[in-house]
Amino acid sequence: MSGMIELVMIAALAAGGSPERDAVCMSWAASARTVMTARQSGESADDMMKRFGSDIDDTIRRTILAAYSRPRSAGAAQREREIADFGDRAFVECMSAR
């Protein structure tokens, strides 16, 4: 997952101040949860890539690949936990970047 947000962490560092970093990291966590929601809902990886079109950002591509490297969870509660955890990991990694 650490490679997934490499470019976003650079953007967060470039932003410098805490409010800017917070906003970047919160946005990234929301994006990560959206991608994992699609993964856990059964949407295929290639359909997810198509959603973003031909000008897909490398960071989004890495997020999709990270989400689809995780297995789908069997039950609804497990799926919700996987979605939340994926977003939380993205947020923590982004906020921890120095």
- Length of the chain equals 98
Boundaries of domain holding 10: 2-96
Count: domains in the chain: 1
Would you say residue 6 has pLDDT above 60?
Answer: no
Give 35-88 as a 3 state SS string. Answer: HHHHHHCCCCHHHHHHHHCCCCCHHHHHHHHHHHCCCCCCCHHHHHHHHHHHHH
pTM: 0.78
Structure tokens at 3: 């490679």
Helix pair angle (58-68, 18-40), 10° resolution:
50
Q: Mean pLDDT over residues 35-47, rounded? A: 95
Tens digit of each residue's pLDDT (9 = 90 or more) over 52-78: 887 788 878 888 999 999 999 999 999
Structure tokens at 25: 């990291």
b/e map 72-91, b = 16+ CB within 10 Å: eeeeeeebeebbeebbebbb
